[in-house]
């Protein structure tokens, strides 16, 4: 599978200029250009690899900045899927069956999962809260069990992957945040629905991510290193009384 340039959202990509020009360079109308570029690299039989290093990408420090960023990502993935699926047969020929199915699952499936998650979660909670035990048939019970298993397994896999990443960075002590995965997925669903709305109303709008808010960011470090000089006090203009000449005192 050659689709992988954009799977990690915090990347510092490096390209060969000749290859970048050959595949058509950046798409100025796609708001997640790395997703589209990764697809075109794959369609031209190029591969992208990962350099074993650390990328100090600043994550959004405020909710609205995070929401705008995730909205832009989802909207870009929607546009990438729509653009490359204009000719499914040609896409299948370019990527092969494995690459074509990976594209559907990773790009289309990622967006679809975020859109249907609140509906799926609400349905599961509804069945759990209102269905009387033993009142449903075996078919309904089997379906409810499958839904519940899929939901729990999704949380478990996401939690394990998150814990593994934290452990490798010696941050296992912060793994408690992984219990918030269900809430995080709801917020991702909010971003996905917001992206769908924007795709229909304003498909080319780019919500720029605000950087420099985190204490570890480059801009924050520059602010800390920049000397701050005290402001000079402005002298009040002389009054008419001050401008008078001193009186002569006779001996």
Report how far residue 20's alpha carbon sits from residue 100's, in angstroms, rounded to the nearest whole number.
Answer: 22
Main-chain phi, psi angles of 18, to 5 degrees: -65, -40
Per-residue pLDDT of the chain (251 residues; tens, 9 = 90+): 444 444 444 556 777 888 888 888 888 889 988 888 889 988 998 887 777 777 777 778 789 989 999 999 999 999 999 999 999 999 999 999 999 999 999 999 999 999 999 998 888 777 777 665 555 566 667 777 777 888 889 999 999 999 998 998 888 899 999 999 999 999 999 999 999 999 999 998 888 777 666 666 666 666 666 665 565 655 555 555 454 555 555 54
DSSP letter assigned to residue 3: -
pLDDT of residue 8: 42
Locate the domains of the chain by residue range: 62-210
The two three-digit tokens of residue 62, written as one number:
């405020």
Contacts of 74 (CB under 8 A, 6+ apart): 111, 114, 191, 192, 194, 195, 196
The two three-digit tokens of residue 27, written as one number:
């798409």
pLDDT of residue 209: 77
How many Cβ atoms are within 10 Å of 63's Cβ, its own excluded?
Answer: 9
Angle at 234 between CA 232 and CA 239, to 5 degrees: 155
pLDDT of residue 169: 86
pLDDT of residue 5: 47
Measured in whole angstroms, how far is the alpha carbon of residue 98 from the centre of its chain? 26
Q: Which residue has the tokens 């990408």?
A: 57
Report how far residue 240's alpha carbon sits from residue 146's, in angstroms, rounded to the nearest whole number.
Answer: 90
Helices (H) and strands (E) in the chain, counts: 8, 0
- By the 10 Å C-beta count (0-12 exposed, 13-18 middle, 19+ buried), 121 is classed as middle
């Amino acid at each position: 599978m050659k689709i992988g340039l954009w799977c990690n959202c915090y990347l510092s990509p490096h390209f060969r200029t000749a290859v970048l020009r050959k595949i058509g360079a950046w798409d100025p109308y796609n708001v997640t250009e790395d997703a589209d570029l990764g697809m075109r690299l794959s369609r031209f039989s190029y591969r992208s690899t990962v350099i074993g290093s650390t990328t100090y990408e600043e994550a959004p420090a405020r909710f609205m900045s995070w929401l705008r960023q995730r909205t832009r990502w989802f909207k870009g993935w929607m546009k990438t899927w729509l653009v490359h699926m204009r000719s499914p047969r040609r896409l299948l020929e370019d990527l092969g069956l494995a690459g074509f199915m990976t594209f559907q699952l990773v790009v289309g499936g990622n967006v679809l999962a975020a859109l249907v998650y609140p509906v799926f979660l609400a349905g599961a909670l509804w069945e759990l809260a209102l269905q009387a035990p033993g009142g449903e048939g075996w078919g309904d019970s089997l379906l409810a069990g499958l839904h519940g298993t899929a939901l729990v397994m999704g949380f478990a896999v996401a939690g394990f992957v998150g814990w593994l990443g934290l452990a490798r960075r010696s941050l296992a002590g912060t793994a408690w945040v992984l219990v918030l995965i269900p809430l995080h997925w709801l917020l991702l669903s909010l971003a996905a629905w917001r992206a769908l709305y924007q795709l229909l109303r304003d498909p080319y709008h780019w919500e720029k991510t605000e950087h420099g808010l985190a204490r570890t960011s480059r801009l924050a470090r520059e602010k800390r290193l920049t000397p701050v000089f005290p402001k000079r006090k402005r002298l009040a203009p002389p009054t008419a009384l001050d401008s008078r000449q001193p009186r002569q005192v006779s001996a």
